[in-house]
Structure 1
Amino acid sequence: MAFHTRSNSFPSRPHPIVQEVDEHLCRLRSSEVTSTSSSISHKLTGLQELHSCVDRLLQLPLAQQALAQEQNEKSTNELLDGSLRILDGCSSAKDALLQTKECVQDLQSIMRRRRGSESGALTTEVRKYLTSRKMVKKAIHKAMRNLKGSSFSSLNNDNETIAFVSTLRDVEAVTLSVFESLLSFISGPKSKPSGSWSLVSKFIHPKRVACEEETEANVFAQVDAALQSFIKTSKSDHKNADNQLDNLESCIQDQEEQLECLFRQLIKTRVSLLNILNH
């Protein structure tokens, strides 16, 4: 009697977790381009859900088998380097937020102690804050250059291995893109042209309109602008600056908490990947 067995070479239906990863990737790719506090928060939440899902994917025997069969040492190193680059991006964002928060709190403390005094007494402290912001921005720009990954090597393996490696590469690309958005948000949009050229440029370069809207929605940029105005106008009433600093501190607190949860998840995912590739 002849027995017919199903060939393992035929592609099976995608595992539900694989589909879930794809859905998270699609949502993050389609998220709004203009960065606001709420959109950044939404993206960070999406990243945490994505990497939690990736970690569950790496626990599947079929994923472990597929990745363990990857014989291309360059491709394997790329995956490990990519996961490390992701951790570095998260650490850079955490450092930028921490440095800015410390400067905000120092300035708030000084402004409260000197409330009602002449604005000239605060000008030096405000200048110190703006100088520290320049240092943070410089560190951010360096971190953003480091986020740029190298081109991936070609894959020469079975279809299942190629599929899993490609998925992890997509996860890396989307994650780094979100961190780039976050770092850009912390740094603040580039200063826009002033005067009549600004009006003309809106018609020539429509994208600049979106950039200006982003400036208005960026609490980091708002504080920078409020403090620069404080120095230029020398107004004794610094209520506006106080309010802007309070809003910024609240925004930083929320983003710090999200990044801390995400960082722990990223470490967990990297450990899972190391256990498979170094087995």
Structure 2
Amino acid sequence: MASYHARSNSLPSRQHPISSQIDETLNRLRSSQSASTSSSIGQNLNGLQDLHEYVDMLLQSPQSQQALSQEQQRKCVEQLLDGSLMVMDVCNMAKDALLQTKECTQELQSILRRRRGIEGLANEIRKYLTSRKAVKKSICKAFKNLKQMETKFNKEGENGSVISILREVEVVTVNVLESLLSFISESEAESKLSGWSLISKLVHQKRVGCAEEEEKTNEISNAEVALRSLIKSGNIKHIDNVQNELQKSEMCIQDLEEGLESLFRRLIKARVTVLNILNC
């Protein structure tokens, strides 16, 4: 995972009263960036909301605005704006993935409630699984964009204290979004066959050893496992378990959607602030 630790004394933004809260939140998010459960990812999304709110407060200070408006910093600020736009695109993609999965989950729940037998359910379940496959394919594309951003982070050097803070925030935001996308796309059924899902290999190679040791709870993949089991067994007794797992999945998705939407609004707010500084 990308990291950025360079800091400069050329601009005294670290002495801004809000900077200590930014540092504290950054450190907390870094320590939990390998989150693999819905509750921990939800907490990280809430942490990102706070982080970007602090950043907006920092950007409101005349000191920060003066630093960012300097002509020699313009290229760096524009690069950060490009990065923020890409982060917002990934947020939108994640929201679409969650929405698509939630709608398919709700439709399948409705079908299961109406039907007393298992006849005809196999085709409906396959539709759900096909939809999940499409979601995972979209997420793979989003990962490529995030990896490009990480390459940029690794290549860029130190350009001033305010710029440094904004880059650190962008890096941590990307890390949390990667965890979220990995959570949405993970298939426990595939993990059991391969030891670790393909997408997780691409995104979390450094975490594989520890992730394989700890027991993870993924409501979305658990629902998928239950559905595959129902198709395989053809046992109507499994329907109650499937309905229960689908309900848990829907509730999990709802929580993640709300956190992601709140984060997206804060990303827009911070981006508008930076654009206003450049245009002054």
TM-score, with normalisation over the residues of structure 2? 0.84
User: 1:182, 1:268 → 2: CA distance?
Assistant: 22
Q: Label 1:99 to 1:181 Cα distance change in 2 as closer, same or farther (>3 A).
A: same
Q: CA deviation at 1:225?
A: 0.7
| Equivalent residues of 1:34, 1:210 under 8 A apart | no
Q: Which has the higher helix share?
A: 2
CA distance, structure 2, for counterparts of residue 18 and residue 38 of structure 1:
27
Contact 2:18 2:58 in 1 (8 A): yes
Look up the equivalent residue of 2:108 and give its one-letter code. L
1:213 is displaced (CA, Å) by 4.2
1:164 partnered with 2:165 = no
How far does residue 255 in structure 1 lie from its aligned partner after superposition?
1.1
| CA distances 1:122-174 after superposition (whole Å, capped 9, x unpaired) | 11000100010000010011111112214254456xxxxx0110110110010
After superposition, the Cα gap between the structure-2 partners of 1:12 and 1:84, relative to the gap in structure 1 and judged at 3 Å, is: closer
Superposition pairs of residues 26-41 of structure 1, within 5 angstroms? 26-31=27-32, 33-41=34-42
Any conservation in 2 of the 1:89–1:176 contact (CA below 8 Å)?
A: no
Q: How does 1:22-171 map to 2 (within 5 A)?
A: 22-31=23-32, 33-114=34-115, 116-117=116-117, 119-148=118-147, 149=149, 150-151=151-152, 152-155=155-158, 162-171=160-169
Match for residue 6 of structure 2? Answer: none
* Identity of matched residues, %: 54
Listed as ranges, the gaps of 5+ residues in structure 2 are 1-9, 197-205
Return closer, same or farther for 1:236/1:257 CA change in 2, 3 Å cut-off. same
- SS across alignment from 1:33: coil
2:200 counterpart residue number = none
Q: Does 1:218 align with 2:187?
A: no
**C-alpha spacing 1:219/1:34, structure 2 compared with 1 (3 Å):** same
* CA 1:13–1:253: 2 relative to 1, 3 Å: closer
Paired residue secondary structure (2:166):
helix
Coordinate RMSD, CA, aligned: 2.5
Distance 1:38 1:69, change over 3 A: same
Q: Any stretches of 5+ residues in structure 1 without a counterpart?
A: 1-8, 157-161, 199-204
Structure 1 residues 98-140: Cα deviation after superposition (integer angstroms, max 9, x where no partner):
00001001111111111x21x1311100010001000001001
The corresponding residue for 2:199 is none
User: Contact 1:75–1:153 at 8 Å: present in 2 too?
Assistant: no
Contact kept in structure 1, 2:68 and 2:74, CA below 8 Å: no
Q: Does residue 188 of structure 1 match 2:189?
A: no
Determine the C-alpha separation between the residues in 1 that align with 2:262 and 2:35: 24
Once residues 113 and 170 of structure 1 are traced to their aligned partners in structure 2, the CA distance between those partners, rounded to angstroms, is: 51
**CA, structure 1 residues 97+268, in 2 after alignment: closer, same or farther (shift >3 Å)?**
same
Residue 233 of structure 1: aligned partner: 233
Bigger Rg, which one = 1
- CA contact under 8 A between 1:87 and 1:266: conserved in structure 2? yes
Count residues with an aligned counterpart: 256
SS in 1 for 2:18: helix
Most deviating of 229-238 and 126-135: 229-238
Q: Contact between 1:70 and 1:76, CA under 8 Å: does it hold in 2? A: no
Q: Could you tell me the TM-score, scaled by structure 1's length?
A: 0.84
Q: Is the 8 A contact 2:105 2:250 kept in 1?
A: yes
- The one-letter code of the counterpart of 1:140 is I
CA distance in 1, matches of 2:265, 2:113: 36
Amino acid at match of 1:231: I
**2:251 corresponds to:** 250
Q: Is the 8 A contact 1:68 1:276 kept in 2?
A: yes
Amino acid of the structure 1 residue aligned with 2:48: L
- How do residues 191-202 of structure 1 correspond to structure 2 at under 5 angstroms? 191-192=190-191, 194=193
